[in-house]
């Protein structure tokens, strides 16, 4: 049935091509490609159905296992490095999640306690300390700039003095 549709589409494409209607022929070619892929998947599924084994994914490590496989192969997988490594990682992750949850509860409790017992005063004093440290930093920057300026001026004076000095060898006798 699908093969018959493909044949009729091919004949229609030929007619459109002879008539010079290229746009419609291109549209039909796209439809033809879709039908061909559909046919290929249907034929592929029939062939695979005979040889297909039921597979499942391991919940711990994500490996693909054959369902109803021999118990020896399943035991080998469960004792393997990949499976045991993922198992340890998942256990550590659960422990860390529990610890983080506990710490978050304590932090929320502390935050509520601070709010009720006037932590605003502490915040204000922190702000004042920040302002003081900022102003001292600004003073340090200004001193540094002044120092740089004066050092530059001293250097400039030296070089101008050197220009006016005599370079005659008599002077060094």
Coil/strand/helix, residue 65 = strand
Q: Which two tokens stand for residue 125?
A: 């004093």
Q: Is residue 164 part of a domain?
A: no
Residue that is last in its domain, among 94, 120, 146: 120
User: What average pLDDT score do residues 101-128 get?
Assistant: 70
75 lies in the same domain as 112 = yes
Q: What percent of the chain has pLDDT over 90?
A: 17
Residue 51 · residue 66 · CB < 8 Å = no
Higher pLDDT residue, 108 or 118? 108
Neighbours of 27 (CB within 10 A): 13
Q: Is residue 140 part of a domain?
A: no
28 lies in the same domain as 70 = no
Q: What are phi and psi of 166, to 5 degrees?
A: -80, 145
40 lies in the same domain as 92 = no
**Where do we find the tokens 């220009």?**
163
Full residue range of the structural domain in which residue 101 is found: 53-120
Q: Is residue 165 part of a domain?
A: no
- Give the model's pLDDT for residue 166: 59
Q: Is residue 48 part of a domain?
A: yes
Q: Is residue 75 part of a domain?
A: yes
CA dihedral over 108, 114, 116, 121, signed as positive or negative: negative
Q: Is residue 15 part of a domain?
A: yes
Q: Is pTM beyond 0.85 here?
A: no
Number of domains in the chain: 2
User: What average pLDDT score do residues 79-104 get?
Assistant: 94
pLDDT, one tens digit per residue, over 125-167 is 666 666 666 666 666 677 666 666 666 555 555 555 555 565 6
- Give the model's pLDDT for residue 153: 57
38 lies in the same domain as 88 = no
75 lies in the same domain as 103 = yes
């Amino acid at each position: 049935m699908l093969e018959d549709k493909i044949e009729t589409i091919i004949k229609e494409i030929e007619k459109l091509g002879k008539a010079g209607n290229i746009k419609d022929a291109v549209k039909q070619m796209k439809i033809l490609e879709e039908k061909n892929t559909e046919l290929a998947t249907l034929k592929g599924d029939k062939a695979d159905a005979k040889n297909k084994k039921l597979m499942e994914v391991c919940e711990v490590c994500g490996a693909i296992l054959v369902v109803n496989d021999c118990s020896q192969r399943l035991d080998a997988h469960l004792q393997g490095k990949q499976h045991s490594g993922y198992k340890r990682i998942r256990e550590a992750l659960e422990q860390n999640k529990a610890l983080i949850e506990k710490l978050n509860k304590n932090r929320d409790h502390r935050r509520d306690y601070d709010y009720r017992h006037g932590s605003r005063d502490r915040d204000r004093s922190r702000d004042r300390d920040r302002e003081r440290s900022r102003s001292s930093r600004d003073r340090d920057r200004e001193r540094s700039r002044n120092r740089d300026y004066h050092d530059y001026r001293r250097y400039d004076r030296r070089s101008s003095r050197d220009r006016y000095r005599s370079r005659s060898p008599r002077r060094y006798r």
